């Protein structure tokens, strides 16, 4: 029996936007895009959202990216893009839908889940899960049995990029690291970041842990809806006062590592960098997603993934954010 299915105007609008995204993405990476961005799964998502009464048109305030926005700028990075935070076409896009290791840019999603489901004033007792043994791992310096607020843990997550803070947050908010990772993956699906899968809360290398430059933009866009996230990533430094297991007061001061914010790299004239998240592992190379604001108040998100070195990361980033003010 044939069914006459009527699709409402919001869904038709959303599907039209999706069709444009798929057309612009080109066919050069069809196999990858089919697994990363399932058209059928998005239709199902739209129908479910409308049925449950909270449908919002897809991409209403999101940028659309495709490699026709690549003007040939010489970069070392494996992927790079500049997106308007109020929508429109990307100003620059190269390999924005390629799956890549995200390193500590993962912590943008860790922060989203913590802010969505946690209570900033909660006092968190750090468990043994916070112990990280991987050589060269970035740490906030917390120890098992320390008692610290969730708010301070978020500063320890985003400023010094503490892998120990990520695990402490995960256990507190999700009940376990595994439970929290499930929450991260569900949130990624909700955001339409279907080229993303998380295996941990800190971004350490795992073959089942990946994202794309475009998905990272989707996550950053969402994170910026939380005023607390904006405050934390905009801080040049933060001092946390907490207690160890014996009740002795401890103090940790963390300073921002973003070169544009700590004065090690000059920001292009007419732009202000208001925060971001770096990430580095041997597998991921050097990564950075950050927000910039023009003198007129327009905000942009820019992404570099898999740059060759720290210097190359900032050289590449300067090249692409300069396009905002050209």
DSSP bridge partners of 275? 291
63 is catalytic: no
Q: Which residues contact 11 (CB under 8 A, 6 or more apart)?
A: 43, 46, 47, 50, 55
What is the rounded CA–CA span in Å between residue 249 and residue 272? 37
What is the rounded CA–CA span in Å between residue 244 and residue 260? 34
What is the rounded CA–CA span in Å between residue 42 and residue 170? 28
In the set 107, 138, 252, 292, the catalytic residue is: 107
What is the rounded CA–CA span in Å between residue 8 and residue 50? 9
**Cβ 11 vs Cβ 55: under 8 Å:** yes
* C-alpha 196 chain-centroid distance: 11
3-state secondary structure of 113: helix
* Measured CA distances, 57 to 222, 241, 271, 318 (Å): 15, 43, 31, 33
In the set 45, 63, 104, 252, the catalytic residue is: 104
104 is catalytic: yes
Place of tokens 């998100």: 301
Of 165, 162, 164, 203, the closest CA to residue 184 belongs to 203
**Cβ 302 vs Cβ 320: under 8 Å:** yes
3-state secondary structure of 80: strand
- Relative to beta strand 271-281, strand 249-255 is unpaired
107 is catalytic: yes
Q: 279, exposed or middle or buried, with CB in 10 Å at 0-12, 13-18, 19+?
A: buried
What is the rounded CA–CA span in Å between residue 231 and residue 210? 27
In the set 138, 161, 292, 302, the catalytic residue is: 161
- Relative to beta strand 79-84, strand 92-94 is antiparallel
Active site amino acids: 104, 107, 161
């Amino acid at each position: 029996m044939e069914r006459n299915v009527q699709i409402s105007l919001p869904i038709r609008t959303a599907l039209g936007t999706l069709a444009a995204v798929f057309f612009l993405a080109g066919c050069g990476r069809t196999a990858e895009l089919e697994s990363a961005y399932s058209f059928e799964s998005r239709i199902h998502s739209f129908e479910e959202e409308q049925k449950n009464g909270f449908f919002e048109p897809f991409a209403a305030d999101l940028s659309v990216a495709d490699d026709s926005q690549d003007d040939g700028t010489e970069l070392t990075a494996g992927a790079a893009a500049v997106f308007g935070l109020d929508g429109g076409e990307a100003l620059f896009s190269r390999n924005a839908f390629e799956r890549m290791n995200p390193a500590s840019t993962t912590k943008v999603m860790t922060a989203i889940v913590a802010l969505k489901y946690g209570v900033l004033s909660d006092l968190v007792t750090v468990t043994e899960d916070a112990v990280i043994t991987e050589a060269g791992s970035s740490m906030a310096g917390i120890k098992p049995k320390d008692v610290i607020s969730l708010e301070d843990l978020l500063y320890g997550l985003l400023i010094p990029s503490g892998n120990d803070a990520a695990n402490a947050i995960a256990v507190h908010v999700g009940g376990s690291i595994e439970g929290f990772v499930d929450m991260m993956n569900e949130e990624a699906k909700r955001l339409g970041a279907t080229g993303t899968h998380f295996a941990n809360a800190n971004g350490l290398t795992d073959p089942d842990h990946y994202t794309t430059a475009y998905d990272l933009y989707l996550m950053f866009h969402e994170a910026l809806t939380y005023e607390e996230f904006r405050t934390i990533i905009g801080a040049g430094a933060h001092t946390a006062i907490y207690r160890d297991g014996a009740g002795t007061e401890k103090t940790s001061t963390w300073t921002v590592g973003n070169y544009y914010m700590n004065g090690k790299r000059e920001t292009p004239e007419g732009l202000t960098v208001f925060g971001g998240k770096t990430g580095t592992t041997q597998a991921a190379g050097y990564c950075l997603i950050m927000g910039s604001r023009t003198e007129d108040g327009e905000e942009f998100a820019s992404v570099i993934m898999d740059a060759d070195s720290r210097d190359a990361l900032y050289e590449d980033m300067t090249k692409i954010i300069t396009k905002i003010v050209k």
